[in-house]
Amino acid sequence: MEIEPFLRLAHVAGAAVLLGTGAGIAFFMVMAHRSRDARLIAHVSGTVVIADTLFTATAAILQPITGYLLAREIGWPLTEGWILVSLALYVFTGLFWLPVVAIQIRLRDLARRAAAEGAPLPLAYFRLYRIWFACGFPAFAAVVGIFWLMLNKPDLTLFMN
């Protein structure tokens, strides 16, 4: 049995999970935030934290593994320009995603506390939300860039021989 089709499927599915979960989480967090309802935000952000843990984190761990195995199976050197740029964008995305997860947990906790106390959302919630929102744009753009690189595999020469 040939393993390359399975690796290709696993890698593409993982990429789709990263893009889809990221976009879905962003959508639901923004929509909940727009309500300014602490109970709704607490519920949605609680679900978002679970989704990030189950789906995004799992895919983020498996993605470089399936990518490495796929490249090895096909015979692509990891020094290919498009692969190196993809890896750099992957690290770049992770540098935004890790703080975003911590922020989501904090947003959830602040909203839960406000809901339990029947109080409005605190100013700290709104400051953190702005940071969370701003971090999404470069991370999402980087993931789209990785998709483009994976699909087009451009001939990029990064280092001279």
pLDDT in tens, 95-134: 999 999 999 999 999 999 999 999 999 999 999 999 999 9
The residue behind tokens 């959302």 is 121
Residue 158 lies in a domain: no
Residue 31 lies in a domain: yes
The number of domains in the chain is 1
pLDDT tier at 35, thresholds 50, 70, 90: very high
CA dihedral for 158, 69, 55, 110, sign (positive or negative): negative
34 close to 44: Cβ distance less than 8 angstroms = no
Residue 157 lies in a domain: no
Look up the domain containing 32 and give its range: 4-152
The pTM (predicted TM-score) of the whole model is 0.88
The residue behind tokens 């451009």 is 154
Mean pLDDT of the chain: 94
Residue 157 has what pLDDT?
A: 81
Residue 159 lies in a domain: no
Residue 117 lies in a domain: yes
